[in-house]
Each structure stands twice: as structure tokens, then as C-alpha cells.
Amino acid sequence: MSRIDLAFSALSDPTRRVILARLAEGEAQVAALADMAGISQPAVSRHLKVLEEAGLIGTRIAGTSRPRRLRPEGLVDVRTWLEQMQAVFEENYRRLDALLAELPETPTPSPED
Amino acid sequence: MPLPAKVSIEGDATVVVTRDFDAPRAAVWRAHSEPALLKRWLLGPPGWEMHVCEMDFRPGGSYRWRWRNVDAGVEFGFDGEVLALDPPARMEERQTYIPGTVGGEMGTCDNVLTLTEIDGGTRLVTRISYADRATMEAAMATGMTDGMEMSYALLDGVLADGDA
């Protein structure tokens, strides 16, 4: 799977989206994430592994603690996003083309309108 | 037939969308300022309807846009504030994403639309500016996950119909 497919696949699970949303607010320990998601630590660890392999999160080593943190750059494939954005705008603008072709001549609006 | 829209990133946190239209500037302006017209084209991907389009279109006025997926029933929207208007050349507005039942977080951005007359038509340039790079990246991330949420919602709708 490509990087972006891995990311989408990782994001397809609601628990993993909850974990990501929590990490978007700041780094967190595995135990805290398990508490928050209401699942066991081994279960949360499995989800974290998927997220880490997809490049969406990273682990910080701080003495004996291993807090997980979001890797925003992993979520962002800028080119893909721009392509999506372009597709949505263009779809709207094609409808606008059709609408404009139907509009009768309109007087220029004035600032007092 | 106009060339497709061009999308690019300008500076650190601004997205620029450029598109030409074979229509007078006044008509393009109307299509952006009258709710009855906006509802006919500002729809995004197939399957969405703009069921709320309330606009107090004057400087200092506000607007409320909501979209609903016709199959899945999920909703999201934008609340906006009109910052400045210079018809038919320029509109400036501040938009806040309303996650509704779709979810995600895109925060607030400032949009500036400029309409210029070109040979036989109108060039529309939309500049979407986020507070900083991190905010723009968060919006991108939400945009991508939301795109997926929307697709899943659509799939759910299809599955519920027993067609898949």
C-alpha cells in the first residue's frame, strides 16, 4: 500500500480517529489513551502500532516514558489535498458556468445595494 | 469552455483558487451574493444539498451555510461574517467551519474574492488564508478525513438501501 493508502486505512477505524483527535490536543501516554478510549492497554497499543506505521503518530522517548504524539505532516499529503480541493471547486464552478449561461443580463450592482 | 480551476499555495498559509468564467462580472457577483443562486451551484461532491443559505450580505453582516447529504442525512456547514464588500470587484469574509454531524475541525479562515474583467469574461481569484501553517495543515488533515467520512456516509446510505 502507498503511504496515503496506509494513512486512509489507519483512519478508517473510529477508535483510531478518537485517538488521533486526542493526540491533536497534545502528546499522551498509552495508559491515558486507553482510559480515554475505554479499551485495554494492549488493544490501544495495537491501534497505536497501525497509526505509527502509517506515519500518523510518533513516539517521544523521555526517560522511561514513551508519550505518543501526532505527526501532522503524516496526515497531510499536500498534493492530494490540493487535488481534492481543485476537484470540489471545479465541480461547483461547472455548475456555476451553467447557471451563468442562464442568467439574463444583470445591471452592475452598486455599493448602495 | 473555460479552463479548469487552478489551486496553489501562496506563502505559508494561503490557498489560491483561480478560475475564468464566460460571463460578465456583474453576473458572477450575483451568483456569489444571492442565496437562491448560491444554492444552485455551491454544492461540492454529488449527493449534497445546501439546505440552509441565510445571508445578510452587507459589510458587518453574517451568513449561515449548511449542507446535508441527501442519502446519509449527515450535515456540516460554515458560518461567515462579511468583512468588506466592493461590488462587483471584491468581497472579503471570515468563515468558521461548523462540523455538524460530519465532524472534524477546520477552524476559521479569511477569504478574499476578487473579480476582474478579462477578454470576454471574468476572472475570479479566491484567496483562503489561515492563521498560520499549522492551522492550514490541520484544515488539510480534516479535509482529507472528512472526505473519507463523507464517502463512508454515502456508502452507509447505499448499504442501507440493500443495493450493495
What is the tens place of the pLDDT at every residue in B69-107?
A: 888 888 989 999 999 999 999 999 999 989 888 777 777
Domain B6-160, CATH number (from 1.20.1250.20, 3.30.530.20, 3.40.225.10, 3.10.180.10) = 3.30.530.20
| pLDDT over 70 (residue A1) | no
* Residue with the larger pLDDT of the pair A104 and B129: B129
Residue among A45, A79, A100 nearest B28 (CA): A100
With contacts defined as CB-CB under 8 Å, which chain A residues touch B44? 88, 91-92
Q: Which three cell numbers stand for residue A64?
A: 522511561
CA distance A63 to chain B (A): 28
Provide the pLDDT for residue A82: 80
Question: What pLDDT score was predicted for residue B95?
Answer: 94
Residue with the larger pLDDT of the pair B49 and B153:
B49
Residues from chain B that touch A107, judged by Cβ atoms under 8 A, are: 26
Q: How far is B45 from chain A (nearest CA, A)?
A: 6
**Other residues' Cβ atoms within 10 Å of the Cβ of residue B159:** 10
pLDDT at A28: 95
Q: What is the pLDDT of residue B164?
A: 33
Q: Where are the beta strands (DSSP E) in B4-136?
A: 6-10, 14-21, 48-55, 62-69, 75-86, 90-98, 108-118, 121-129
Parse chain B into domains and list their residue ranges. 6-160
Q: Which of residues 53-92 of A touch B (CB under 8 A)?
A: 72-73, 75-78, 80-82, 84-86, 88-92
Distance CA B60, CA B80 (A): 10
Q: Which residues of B fall within a CB distance of 8 Å from A100?
A: 21-23, 27-28, 31
Q: What is the pLDDT of residue A55?
A: 85
Cell numbers 473555460 correspond to B2
pLDDT in tens, A20-79: 888 888 899 999 999 999 999 999 999 999 999 988 899 999 899 999 998 877 766 666
Query: Which residues of chain B have a CB within 8 Å of the CB of A97?
Result: 1-2, 21-23
- The domain made up of A3-75 has a fold known as Arc Repressor Mutant, subunit A (1.10.10)
Tell me the pLDDT tens digit for each residue of B117-163.
999 899 999 999 998 877 787 777 666 555 544 444 443 443 344 33
pLDDT digits (tens, 9 = 90+) for B1-19: 789 999 888 887 898 999 9
Predicted confidence at residue B163, as pLDDT, reads 37
- What one-character DSSP code corresponds to residue A105? P
Out of A69-73, A102-106, B85-89, B112-116, which region has the weakest mean confidence (pLDDT)?
A102-106
Query: Which of B18, B28, B41 should we substitute to test contact with A (largest number of A Cβ atoms within 10 Å)?
Result: B41
Of B40, B143, B148, the CB nearest to A11: B148
Q: How far is CA A86 from CA A40, A75, A92, B102, B117, in A?
A: 42, 19, 10, 21, 22
The whole-angstrom separation of Cα A97 and Cα A92 is 9
* CA nearest to B21, candidates B137, B161, B119: B119
Residue A105 confidence class, pLDDT cut points 50, 70, 90: low
Instruction: Show residues of chain B in contact with A106, CB under 8 Å.
Output: 24, 26-27, 30
Q: How close B28 comes to chain A (CA, Å)?
A: 7
pLDDT bin (cut points 50, 70, 90) of residue A106 is: low
- B51 against B45, higher pLDDT: B51
